[in-house]
Chain A
Amino acid sequence: MAMIEIRDVNKWFGRFHVLVDCTSAVDKGEVVVVCGPSGSGKSTLIKCVNGLEPFQKGEIHVNGISVGTAGTDLPKLRSHVGMVFQHFELFPHMTVIENLTIAQEKVLGRGRDAARDKGLSLLDRVGLTEFADKHPGQLSGGQQQRVAIARALAMDPICMLFDEPTSALDPEMIGEVLAVMQDLARDGMTMMVVTHEMGFARNVAHRVIFMDQGRILEDATKEEFFGTPRSERAQTFLSKILSH
């Protein structure tokens, strides 16, 4: 069964049709990259997956649970769907370790010590143990994004959503974040990644989804996508993005 299943999803902002008949699926352990020009709806689509954005038509199931249905316990669903944002969105008034423990304690009900141990081991995993008691504002962008990934992992997510995780970073910091993501993928994490990093897509992704004007134009294996993308729009996009 697919971990994330998206079926005929349509969304309007007022009269603007942002998502048009989007259908796709992400299997357990699969890494899917979503790309496309800005304004194509890819960020909106990924935010629909954990119900941060409502949609008006269609269905999304995560691990068999329907996201768009009225009675769904969305906080519970979200607590095991990790999400990483373009602008990190760490909680600035908390220290790094508090960022990692707060939801473990308040949402999952873990004890203080257990949460802290978990947090510290994840900080170790992203190589930031010595920053545990710093505040996010004292970290570089790349470091903040690695903390944000660790924060999401602290909840033992069944899958991870990345919304342009490297777009707000200085070029020299992109590598450190991609390395952490690559590690995650190698460990078998189910990942849906909105990104322009085609190198990451080539190396790590299993499949690539290409979107334009709210539609999914391509949904292909990485080999097919980089080999012979079928839509003309995807070809132009690729030629633009790969030429430099």
Chain B
Amino acid sequence: MGYNWHWGIYFDKIKGGEETYLSWLITGFGWTVAISLCSWIIALVLGGLIGTVRTTPRRWAVRLGDAWVELFRNIPLLVQFFLWFFVVPELLPEKLSLWVKQEMPAKEFITATVCLGLFTSARIAEQVRAGILSLPRGQRLAGLAMGFTLPQTYRYVLLPMACRIILPPLTSEFMNVFKNSSVAFAIGVLELTFQARQMQEDSEQGIETYLAVTVLYFICAFVANRMMVWIENRTRVPGYITAAK
């Protein structure tokens, strides 16, 4: 294989600049983490809310929640990025549209975060709903029979158990957010994948570049996984079915 290995490439200066390739990768890593964490927060809040609403007796709210989930999970993520970036700004009122296109600070970052956040919220909503519905019907009745209002029943009885039950699927969703954030390169966010492509073209050391990127993504997902497992262990209920460990 006629490939010129150069493991020191990370510390070389970029062509015609003072930065090192490593600083590119670190910047990219920073944006990746920022997009992922911000969209994760959006996804948790919205997904939790929508998932919960879909289990209430309010018919219209259930339908609205169902529609939300169907909308965001039936369109490819890449297309969603393009929709938010190119189409949504055009649909806004004229003044706002102009502001978004020309003046909004960190336009790519905000667009990517909103897009990934909403996309993930649909998936979390589905899990939250499944978690709540997996509880025995008697739990809801018991909460109500104690004199709790419906919101109180959710707050004190249903959600604490549902959240514990969905922690494992939520863990893989948290890891997915980091991995899915790589698609944001397509709208020009300077995240890890974007920087990697840039570094590859600039340095022509594709293998070293993508190996480094692989390691960085792996670290993200791995840390995310360990954090969730830690939470899972901390919130384990003594004597509850899965507690045999």
Contact = CB atoms under 8 A, between A and B. Distances in A.
B145 interface: yes
A134 B239 contact: yes
25 contacts: A52-B141, A74-B144, A75-B152, A78-B144, A78-B147, A85-B138, A87-B136, A89-B141, A89-B142, A90-B142, A91-B160, A93-B160, A103-B147, A103-B148, A106-B148, A107-B147, A107-B152, A135-B237, A135-B238, A137-B238, A137-B239, A137-B243, A138-B238, A139-B239, A152-B146
A57 interface: no
B141 A107 contact: no
B7 interface: no
B149 interface: yes
A52 B239 contact: no
Given A78-B146, A93-B164, A136 B239 contact: yes
Contacts of B145: 50, 52, 78, 81, 83, 85
A76 interface: yes
B45 to A, nearest CB: 22
A50 B241 CA distance: 31
Interface of A: 47, 50, 52, 74-76, 78-81, 83, 85-87, 89-93, 102-103, 106-108, 134-139, 151-152, 155
B3 interface: no
A103 B241 CA distance: 25
B6 to A, nearest CB: 55
A7 to B, nearest CB: 22
A151 B237 CA distance: 20
Contacts, number: 85
Contacts of B161: 91-93
Interface string B130-160: 0000001011011111111100100011001
B230 interface: no
Contacts of A136: 239
B5 interface: no
Given A134-B238, A134-B239, A87 B147 contact: no
B240 interface: yes
Contacts of A81: 145
Contacts of A91: 139, 142-143, 156-157, 160-161
